Amino acid sequence: MTKPIRVTAAIMAKTNQVFAARRNPDTHMAGFWEFPGGKIEVGETPEVCLARELLEEFGIVTQVGAFLGDSTYDYGTKTVQLLAYEVTHLSGDFELRAHDELRWLALDELDQVKWAPADIPLVALYKKLARRRLD
């Protein structure tokens, strides 16, 4: 396995729903849903990366909170390590700049979309966290 590319992922929840975005048709993993984020650049912390990526991809200002967990997946040509953080939307209207659709998904809707393989363990993690909060 090659050295993983470190990528951030936003777990942004509100009113028992979580934010997800579908990758554009002309990108790697086109048509798959993901917790958005992006590749960590040299000299950048995961938190700074995630706030930057969300501003670039959606035009929103966010606050990056606690680290929630990670997921590593080998796509064959590259291995990705997703670092998931709790994120709060502070301001800005969501724009589709790097995705072709976005949704706020309730727990019972999470299995109705086709998740990118690296995100699937993070979906399970979110379900576990959300169920704890509902109990």
User: Residues 77-117: pLDDT tens digits?
Assistant: 999 999 999 999 999 999 999 999 999 999 999 999 999 99
Query: According to the model, what pLDDT value does residue 132 have?
Result: 82
**Domains present along the chain, CATH in parentheses:** 5-134 (3.90.79.10)
Cα gap 21→35, rounded to integer Å:
7
Cα gap 102→93, rounded to integer Å:
12
- Note the pLDDT tens digit of each residue in 35-78: 999 999 999 999 999 999 999 999 999 999 999 999 999 999 99
